[in-house]
Amino acid sequence: MKNLILPIGALALYSSAFAQQLPERPNVLLIYADDIGYGDLSCNGTSAVRTPNVERLASEGIRFTNAHCAAATSTPSRYALLTGEYAWRRKGTGIAAGNAAMIITPERYTIADMFKDAGYQTGVVGKWHLGLGNETGKQDWNGVVKPNPADIGFDYSYIMAATPDPVPMAATADRTPCIFMENGKGVGLDPDDPVYVSYTKNFPGEPTGKDNPELLRMLPSHGHDQSIVNGISRIGYMKGGKSALWKDENIADSITAHAIRFIEKSQQSKEPFFLYLATNDIHVPRVPHKRFAGKSGLGPRGDALLSFDWTVGQVMETLKKLNLDDNTIVILSSDNGAVIDDGYQDQAVELLGNHKATGVYRGGKYSSYEGGTRVPCIIRWKGQITPGVSDYLVSQVDWFVSFASMCGVNLPEGSAPDSENHLNSWMDAKQEGRSWTVEHNVQNNLSITDGVWKYIPAADGPAVNKQTNTELGNNPAEDQLYDLIFDPGEHFNVAKENPELVQKMRTELLRIINSGLHYKSLKESKKDE
């Protein structure tokens, strides 16, 4: 226990608009996509590709048009989601070594800890992005790697092994080691063929994408030219572990199957479950199963969207089959905005056509512009949530405290410092959301929005990521201010015309930065006692 409190009884009453006693604790299923932009899903208006299972989910719940992840890249978004703290407050949460130690330490109180303290079975399946082990580069991938998700509140984990990249451009499938880890141990490893990983030099005799392009079935466009696994070159070097290596086209099936298995096993317990289902789709390398290959008309990226929709359909059908449909809160969102070419020649750019992956929004993954953090978001709870559309500002960082309120959990002092209780706004499309949210780009430059206006302070950094052709929003010469109601695409900088508003938003951003209620671990707290 990381918490000395916890008088958990019946589910607490909702505040204000939801002053009603709920019959029992609902299950919570969080489906977290990778690199899916606001405009990628048909529920948000795209006609280029159909995602009917997501559409159905949206029609039965609340679809948010102004929902934000905490950062424009994977690791800091996931850190903020699990800890309730903006990642920019912590060193080592943005750029980590390819074989990084676990970024969230066991002393840290997480959303999984909260659900566990509320009597939930907790699980994480899929992509992790948050490191493993105690020391960077010292993991023994052939044993039990600790710390792992079990040490921060998850009863069960089935995750992709690789950890955050040296440059925050990659996720996990495009890096070594290309194996799954179940409860901290490599799945299917043969003791006679151990796996070895290096991010500094290749192992003798092992082919690479750079030196052996003839062995590749998908060529890299930038980077991603080191060890070859499944005919695809990755970031990082490895050898061995042949029996445990995944096949990219089967990753979605494996993640979905283990998510379903966790849900089914939860039925053996009288306790509800919290499942953090983090899909590989649609991150590179995009190698969808043959069921989806060539079906979207948009190439592998579009086909991966079909694969993601299939996963959603499979887990929703499982809930229905197990009679859990009415007592499960389902949340669907993404870790950052869209990116088209992110390191492989998969025709994503050539076949994009008129599809707008970020919708009307400028930028994308890595960017300070809205396309970096404005993401798809749906929440559904049959019989409890009235379907609708919310245009109010909401942030993923608030899931922590909002669900703690729902579960009646008193949080340890200092935990989830940036998370706010907006349970009402998550459960009712008519309820207002946040006053402000801070956004975080790949250069660690911050911006702020109140949902109507967007302020991007003058900051150093490249204007464009030339590898991905993404506008980053960095401008060292001038502040930027955009009217998101009349100019959602952020085309017209009106900072000079609105100096008082610029000053107001600058002041608010500085207040939030300087107000940082910095979390103290239990070890630190005990030192102060």
pLDDT in tens, 69-80: 999 999 999 999
Residue type, 319: L
- Provide the 10 A C-beta neighbour count for residue 158: 22
Q: Is the pLDDT of residue 453 over 80?
A: yes
The average pLDDT across 35-45 equals: 97
pLDDT tier at 137, thresholds 50, 70, 90: confident
The confidence score (pLDDT) of residue 124 equals: 98
**Rounded to the nearest 5°, which phi and psi values hold at 398?**
-85, -5
The confidence score (pLDDT) of residue 236 equals: 93
Average pLDDT, the chain: 91
pLDDT tier at 15, thresholds 50, 70, 90: very low
- Decide: 356 and 39 in contact? Cβ < 8 Å: yes
CATH architecture entry for 437-514:
2-Layer Sandwich (3.30)
CATH code given to domain 34-64+71-186+248-355: 3.40.720.10
pLDDT tier at 99, thresholds 50, 70, 90: low
The average pLDDT across 455-468 equals: 97
pTM of the model as a whole? 0.93
What CA–CA distance (Å, rounded) separates 373 from 396? 10
> Residue 24 — left, alpha, or beta (φ > 0 → left; ψ -120 to 50 → alpha)?
beta
What CA–CA distance (Å, rounded) separates 330 from 214? 45
What CA–CA distance (Å, rounded) separates 272 from 121? 6
Q: What does 24-67 look like in DSSP terms, one character per residue?
A: SPPEEEEEEESS--GGGSGGGT--SS--HHHHHHHHTSEEESSE
Which residues share a beta bridge with 126?
159, 278
- Provide the 10 A C-beta neighbour count for residue 146: 15
Q: Pseudo-torsion of CA 215, 221, 222, 226, nearest 10°? A: -10
Length of the chain: 529
Domain boundaries, the chain: 34-64+71-186+248-355, 437-514
Q: What is the per-residue pLDDT across 173-184, written as a single tens digit (0 to 9) for each?
A: 899 999 999 999
Q: What is the per-residue pLDDT across 391-445, written as a single tens digit (0 to 9) for each?
A: 999 999 999 999 999 999 999 999 999 999 999 999 999 999 999 999 999 999 9
Point out the least confidently predicted range of 100-104, 162-166, 291-295, 429-433.
162-166
Angle between helix axes 74-83 and 399-407 (nearest 10 degrees) is 20
What CA–CA distance (Å, rounded) separates 310 from 197? 33
The confidence score (pLDDT) of residue 520 equals: 39
Peptide bond into 457 cis (omega under 30): no
The average pLDDT across 473-487 equals: 98
Q: Is the pLDDT of residue 339 over 70?
A: yes
What CA–CA distance (Å, rounded) separates 256 from 253? 5
What CA–CA distance (Å, rounded) separates 133 from 137? 9
The confidence score (pLDDT) of residue 165 equals: 47
Q: Which residue has the higher pLDDT, 516 or 514?
A: 514
Q: What is the per-residue pLDDT across 304-327, written as a single tens digit (0 to 9) for each?
A: 999 999 999 999 999 999 999 999
